[in-house]
């Protein structure tokens, strides 16, 4: 089964959900990992894609997402502040550009931004674009197509909005907005001329089949930049007592995503800082050919130069 599906992917055909469901029943992990490695080697970009993010507005979010430290519904002690000044955003962007990072993202807490806030973000984007050559993306919640057009005109090339989980599981994790609203936001960004970036968090209590379901939802949107976060249980959130995923579970998930998205950038995101070195390197070999480097929104991330050295040793180009 593993070999047949691998050959199907290598020949340019898409796998079906039923085929992936059958693949998930296979227990020969080593053969699964090797097949994913072959798909990655032959179909995915060999140029490793690095991006970085800054928490440009923190805390006091109206949404009740169970995983998030920034929700006003949870008592996590997270730092709260308004939109960072233009100069600070520019400084962060220039520092990342100096390290060879190709893309920089402004990320804000909250369900959606007002038109005035979008204008303020546009000011920061223009200032960054004038100061250095780094590409800019944003993650600003649920926006309209008109707001997206203004961002694109200011210099934003990619919009990020995670689906977070399978459609069948998302309502268990958030009740204050729907996954359909997230899809509409991503479609609005595409209509405005931007690329889209969307992925999710694994280890929030979902089943393996629901992780596969998430991957197919992303394929339906044509996403080519897919952040894969590993839940870091944060004290004060409803998921604070979740048990961490095993290395095998993580590597199986990456393999399934690579079968479903053979050409996409599968992007290491939150949670990887707690992985051991062997698992990190195995994940990069099996399918992860992109990463968010530096610190995450509310948790520690990684050292950029250490990341670059590891990436080159695995065999990717920077």
Q: pLDDT (tens digit, 9 = 90+) per residue, 90-109?
A: 999 999 999 899 999 999 99
Closest CA to 50 of 105, 106, 112, 94: 105
pLDDT of residue 306: 86
pLDDT band at 291 (very low <50, low <70, confident <90, very high): very high
* Interval 171-204: pLDDT, tens: 999 999 999 999 999 999 999 999 999 999 999 9
Does the pLDDT of residue 300 top 70, yes or no? no
Cα–Cα distance measured from residue 237 to residue 66, given in angstroms and rounded to the nearest whole number: 6
Could you identify the residue written with the tokens 């968090």? 201
Cα–Cα distance measured from residue 150 to residue 156, given in angstroms and rounded to the nearest whole number: 9
Helices (H) and strands (E) counted in the chain, each on its own, are 11, 9
Does the pLDDT of residue 303 top 80, yes or no? no
Give the range among 151-160, 177-186, 287-296 with minimum mean pLDDT.
287-296
**pTM for the structure as a whole:** 0.95
- The sign of the dihedral angle between the CA atoms of 312, 9, 195, 106 is negative
Q: Which two tokens stand for residue 207?
A: 């089943």
Q: Which two tokens stand for residue 143?
A: 């926006």
Residue range 143-158: average pLDDT? 98
pLDDT band at 145 (very low <50, low <70, confident <90, very high): very high
pLDDT-above-90 percentage for the chain: 90
Does the pLDDT of residue 317 top 50, yes or no? yes
pLDDT of residue 304: 82
Q: Which residue has the higher pLDDT, 274 or 259?
A: 259
- Mean pLDDT computed over every residue of the chain: 95
Does the pLDDT of residue 302 top 80, yes or no? no
pLDDT of residue 236: 96
* Interval 33-73: pLDDT, tens: 999 999 999 999 999 999 999 999 998 999 999 999 999 99
Give the chain's domains with CATH numbers.
Answer: 50-314 (3.20.20.70)
Total number of residues shown for the chain: 318
pLDDT band at 242 (very low <50, low <70, confident <90, very high): very high
pLDDT-above-70 percentage for the chain: 97
pLDDT band at 298 (very low <50, low <70, confident <90, very high): very low
Does the pLDDT of residue 301 top 90, yes or no? no
Q: At what angle do helices 2-10 and 247-260 cross, to 10 degrees?
A: 40
Cα–Cα distance measured from residue 292 to residue 49, given in angstroms and rounded to the nearest whole number: 9
Does the pLDDT of residue 250 top 50, yes or no? yes
Per the CB < 8 A criterion, the answer to whether 81 and 57 are in contact is yes
pLDDT of residue 295: 61
- Report how far apart the first and last C-alpha atoms of the chain are (Å, whole number): 34
Residue range 242-270: average pLDDT? 96
Coil, strand, or helix at residue 279?
A: helix
């Amino acid at each position: 089964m593993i070999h047949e599906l691998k050959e199907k992917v290598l020949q340019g055909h898409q796998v079906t959900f039923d085929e992936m469901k059958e693949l998930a029943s296979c227990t020969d992990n080593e053969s699964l990992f090797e097949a994913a490695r072959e798909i990655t080697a032959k179909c995915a970009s060999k140029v490793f894609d690095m991006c970085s993010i800054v928490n440009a507005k923190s805390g006091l979010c109206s949404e009740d997402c169970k995983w998030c430290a920034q929700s006003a519904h949870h008592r996590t002690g997270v730092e709260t502040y308004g939109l960072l000044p233009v100069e600070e955003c520019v400084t962060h962007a220039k520092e990342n550009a100096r390290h060879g990072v190709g893309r920089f993202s402004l990320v804000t807490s909250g369900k959606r931004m007002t038109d005035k806030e979008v204008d303020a973000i546009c000011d920061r984007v223009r200032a960054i674009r004038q100061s250095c050559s780094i590409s800019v993306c944003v993650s600003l919640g649920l926006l309209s197509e008109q707001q997206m057009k203004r961002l694109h005109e200011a210099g934003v090339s990619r919009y990020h909005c995670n689906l977070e989980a399978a459609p069948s599981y998302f309502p268990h994790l958030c009740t204050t907005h729907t996954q359909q609203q997230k899809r509409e936001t991503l479609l609005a960004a595409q209509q405005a001329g931007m690329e889209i970036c969307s992925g999710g968090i694994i280890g929030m209590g979902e089943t393996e089949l629901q992780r596969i379901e998430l991957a197919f939802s992303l394929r339906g949107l044509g996403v080519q930049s897919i952040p894969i976060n590993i839940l870091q249980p944060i004290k004060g959130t409803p998921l604070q007592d979740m048990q961490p995923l095993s290395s095998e579970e993580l590597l199986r998930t990456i393999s399934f995503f690579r079968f479903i998205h053979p050409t996409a950038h599968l992007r290491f995101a939150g949670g990887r800082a707690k992985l051991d070195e062997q698992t990190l390197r195995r994940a990069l070999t099996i399918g992860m050919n992109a990463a968010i480097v530096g610190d995450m929104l509310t948790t520690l991330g990684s050292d950029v130069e250490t990341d670059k050295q590891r990436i080159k040793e695995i065999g990717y180009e920077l």
